[in-house]
Amino acid sequence: MTTVLLTLGRLPKALDLARGFSKAGCRVLVAEPYGWTLAGASRHAAREFKVPPPSAGKTAYLAALAQIAEREGVDLVVPVSEETMHVAHLAGMLPDGTRLFTMPPREVLALHDKASFVQKAAAMGLAVPESAPLGSAEAEALARSGPVVVKPVYSCSGNGLSILRGGEPLPPANPAQPMVVQRFVEGQEHSTCTIAQGGRVAATMVYRGALMSGSVAVAFERVDVPAIEAWVTRFVAETGWSGFISFDFIIDAAGVPYAIECNPRATSGVHFWEGADIARAVLEPGWTGPVRVRRERTLQQFYACLTETQGAMLRRKGFLPALRTLVTTRDVSWDKRDPWPFLSMIGTSWPIIWQSITKGARFGEVATVDVGWYED
């Protein structure tokens, strides 16, 4: 039996992966700083291990993962979310024969870096917005020419992002927190999630937010955009990518998709695929079979949507659309054959809920703060 180690368990996509690998006949382990999580509560997870968070020390975090892999006879390590940038550094630390489903750290970090990603894609001739480092003459010229987005080079969930009108002064550059200035593209935002093996796309999912919590979608709708799929296929081929890889796009008024940033990891797009097919596409590097799509076109994260609906009621803005989404959309975590993760979600998510309350931040902003990569 193949043993698979997931390196995060708190998020719904981890639960989908755990269920999928289990249905594909694997023994599923979960490593997680919180200790008890959504995926760990599933009957499809054989064991869950508490590990120190990367924020408390990258060396200790990697050592803990390597020890689990050695002791448990792990065959495949699959990073789930923002911890991917850390987990990539396990290369060379794992036992012989243990495969890591992501690229080497230099390549992963080059795409996590929002400035470096744009340069890489532009060199391929792919559509990306003009971008420049904050503090440069090029950035000043961009800001004078029209609206721009200013965001940290390393960030997630829209943390630290601001949009400035044309001519509005840029903030001062801070060498301790490098930022990128990017031409603002007006249009509809779309996201993707791709499973890739050796530069070949096994499957790409394109989706867009149906209900937002800040800049994070908590309900999402799958859509068909061939131009985006073609963009992704070319990028994956040019980079020879293996692993999950995801992008955020804006489609402008002319129908041109501009990739505004890359997430070299899985995103919520995984919810739209059948879990066992995701597992097979990851387990088998030469997989050419289909990755089937679930029948639902729209899915939600129920508790996050509930919070947004309550907030909309208090703000007296957007309440009815949010309520409609809440009562008509299937939750990504509910499965009557595996009900405990959904029923215990308040308990398993309590560390995130508590941080959200005490810091006055949205759920998505604090969900991965202890596992994200924010510096070189």
Query: What are the tens digits of pLDDT across the range 284-299?
Result: 988 888 999 999 999 9
Contact 87, 63 (CB under 8 A): no
**Cβ-contact 214, 365 below 8 angstroms:** yes
Distance CA 80, CA 265 (A): 7
Per-residue model confidence (pLDDT) at position 272: 97
- Per CATH, the number for 3-102 is 3.40.50.720
**Do 152 and 179 contact (CB within 8 A), yes or no?**
yes
The rounded distance, in Å, linking the Cα atoms of 322 and 60 is 42
Position 90 scores a pLDDT of 97
Domain boundaries, given as residue ranges, for the chain: 3-102, 130-183, 188-299
Give the number of other Cβ atoms within 10 Å of residue 159's Cβ. 20
Tens of pLDDT, residues 338-352? 999 999 988 888 888
Q: How far apart are CA 302 and CA 327, in angstroms?
A: 9
pLDDT in tens, 313-337: 877 777 887 777 777 788 899 999 9
pLDDT band of 157, cuts 50, 70, 90: low
Q: Sorting pLDDT into bands at 50, 70 and 90, what band is 202?
A: very high
Strands 200-213 and 216-222: antiparallel
Closest Cα to residue 90, out of 109, 103, 81, 107? Answer: 103
- C-alpha Rg value of the chain to the nearest Å: 20
Stretch among 18-32, 155-169, 203-217, 314-328 having the lowest mean pLDDT: 314-328
* 262: its two tokens: 């890359």
Cα dihedral sign, 41-341-80-286: positive
CA atoms of 325 and 298, how far apart (whole Å): 9
Structure tokens of 37? Answer: 């999580």
Q: Pull the structure tokens for residue 212.
A: 């937002």
The confidence score (pLDDT) of residue 215 equals 67
Contacts of 326 (CB under 8 A, 6+ apart): 300, 302, 305, 306, 309
**Taking a C-beta distance cutoff of 8 angstroms, is the pair 1, 26 a contact?**
yes
Rounded percentage of the chain residues whose pLDDT exceeds 70: 99
Q: Which two tokens stand for residue 256?
A: 């041109």
Of how many residues is the chain composed?
376
Structure tokens that stand for 371 in this block:
């596992």
- Closest CA relative to residue 230, chosen from 178, 182, 194, 282: 194
Q: Which residues pair with 204 in a beta bridge?
A: 194
CA dist 23 to 20, 224, 225, Å?
A: 5, 28, 30
As a CATH number, domain 188-299 is: 3.30.470.20
From CA 80, how far away is CA 33, in angstroms rounded?
Answer: 13
Residue 216 near residue 268, CB atoms below 8 Å: no
3-state secondary structure of 37: coil
